[in-house]
Amino acid sequence: MAGVIVRQPLDRTKVRIPRGQLYIIPERCKGCRFCIDFCPRDVLVETSEMNAKGYHYPIVAEGKEDECIACQFCSILCPEFAIYTEEIVEEESVE
Protein backbone atom coordinates (compact mmCIF):
# COMPACT_ATOMS: atom_id res chain seq x y z
CA MET A 1 0.00 0.00 0.00
CA ALA A 2 1.29 3.49 -0.82
CA GLY A 3 2.03 5.91 2.06
CA VAL A 4 -0.98 7.95 3.03
CA ILE A 5 -0.44 11.57 3.90
CA VAL A 6 -2.58 12.03 6.96
CA ARG A 7 -1.87 15.58 7.98
CA GLN A 8 0.04 18.27 6.25
CA PRO A 9 0.39 22.05 6.62
CA LEU A 10 -2.11 23.95 4.50
CA ASP A 11 0.60 26.26 3.25
CA ARG A 12 3.00 23.44 2.41
CA THR A 13 3.59 24.75 -1.08
CA LYS A 14 3.79 28.41 -0.03
CA VAL A 15 6.42 28.38 2.74
CA ARG A 16 9.88 27.93 1.39
CA ILE A 17 13.17 27.69 3.13
CA PRO A 18 15.07 30.67 1.74
CA ARG A 19 18.10 29.99 -0.38
CA GLY A 20 21.06 32.27 -0.38
CA GLN A 21 23.77 33.33 -2.77
CA LEU A 22 27.08 33.82 -1.04
CA TYR A 23 29.37 36.72 -1.93
CA ILE A 24 32.89 37.03 -0.63
CA ILE A 25 35.55 39.72 -0.85
CA PRO A 26 38.72 37.62 -0.62
CA GLU A 27 41.14 40.54 -0.26
CA ARG A 28 39.46 41.71 2.97
CA CYS A 29 39.59 38.36 4.76
CA LYS A 30 41.97 37.95 7.72
CA GLY A 31 41.38 34.23 8.20
CA CYS A 32 39.64 34.36 11.59
CA ARG A 33 37.23 31.49 10.73
CA PHE A 34 34.22 33.05 12.48
CA CYS A 35 32.03 32.54 9.43
CA ILE A 36 33.18 28.97 8.91
CA ASP A 37 32.62 27.91 12.50
CA PHE A 38 29.35 29.69 13.10
CA CYS A 39 27.44 29.13 9.90
CA PRO A 40 24.33 27.29 11.11
CA ARG A 41 24.39 25.10 8.02
CA ASP A 42 28.16 24.53 7.86
CA VAL A 43 28.17 25.85 4.33
CA LEU A 44 31.66 27.32 4.42
CA VAL A 45 35.09 25.85 4.32
CA GLU A 46 38.55 27.31 4.12
CA THR A 47 40.01 27.41 0.67
CA SER A 48 43.55 26.29 0.04
CA GLU A 49 44.11 29.48 -1.94
CA MET A 50 45.40 32.60 -0.23
CA ASN A 51 44.66 36.26 -0.65
CA ALA A 52 47.43 38.82 -1.07
CA LYS A 53 48.00 38.98 2.70
CA GLY A 54 48.36 35.22 2.97
CA TYR A 55 45.01 34.43 4.55
CA HIS A 56 42.84 31.49 3.49
CA TYR A 57 39.42 32.92 2.79
CA PRO A 58 36.17 30.91 2.92
CA ILE A 59 34.36 29.34 0.02
CA VAL A 60 31.23 27.26 -0.27
CA ALA A 61 32.02 23.65 0.57
CA GLU A 62 31.48 21.05 -2.07
CA GLY A 63 28.00 19.65 -1.94
CA LYS A 64 26.78 22.61 0.12
CA GLU A 65 25.94 24.88 -2.76
CA ASP A 66 22.20 24.76 -2.05
CA GLU A 67 22.45 24.83 1.74
CA CYS A 68 22.83 28.54 2.35
CA ILE A 69 19.61 29.95 3.82
CA ALA A 70 20.62 33.63 3.62
CA CYS A 71 20.46 34.06 7.38
CA GLN A 72 23.10 36.86 7.12
CA PHE A 73 24.90 35.68 10.23
CA CYS A 74 28.24 35.44 8.45
CA SER A 75 27.66 38.89 7.04
CA ILE A 76 27.20 40.65 10.34
CA LEU A 77 29.66 38.45 12.23
CA CYS A 78 32.58 38.91 9.86
CA PRO A 79 34.94 41.42 11.47
CA GLU A 80 36.19 42.54 8.08
CA PHE A 81 32.92 43.02 6.19
CA ALA A 82 34.25 40.46 3.73
CA ILE A 83 31.25 38.18 3.22
CA TYR A 84 27.51 38.49 2.76
CA THR A 85 24.54 36.67 1.36
CA GLU A 86 21.60 37.64 -0.73
CA GLU A 87 18.36 35.75 -0.83
CA ILE A 88 17.72 34.10 -4.18
CA VAL A 89 14.18 35.00 -5.15
CA GLU A 90 12.67 32.49 -7.58
CA GLU A 91 9.35 32.02 -9.22
CA GLU A 92 7.15 29.90 -7.02
CA SER A 93 7.13 26.37 -8.31
CA VAL A 94 4.09 24.22 -8.00
CA GLU A 95 4.79 20.77 -6.77
Partner 1 sequence: MPEIKVESHPIDIVFRTERLPHIFCPGCGIGPATHAYAQAILESGIPKDRHACVSGIGCSARVPGYIDVDSYHTTHGRSIPFATAIAVVKPEMEVTVFSGDGDLFGIGGNHFIHAARRNVDINVICINNFNYGMTGGQAGPTLPLGARATTAPYGNTEPPFNLPYLAAACGAVFVARWTALHVRQLKDAILRAMQKKGFTFIEVLSPCPVGFGSPNDIGDAIEEVWLYRERCVVDHNACLPDLEIDLRRKDVPFVMGNFVDIEKEPYDPLAMMKKKGE
Q: Is 34 in the site for partner 1 (CB under 8 A)?
A: yes
Distance, in Å, from the CA atom of 12 to the CA atom of 90, rounded to the nearest integer, reads 17
Write phi, then psi, for 5 (nearest 5 degrees).
-85, 115
| DSSP state, residue 40 | T
Q: Cβ contacts of residue 93 below 8 Å, gap of 6+? A: none
Q: By C-beta, is 13 or 21 nearer to partner 1? A: 21
Judged by CB under 8 A, the chain residues 58 through 87 that form the site for partner 1 are: 58-60, 65-66, 68, 73, 75-82, 84
Residues that bind partner 1 (CB under 8 A): 21-28, 30-34, 37-38, 55, 58-60, 65-66, 68, 73, 75-82, 84, 88
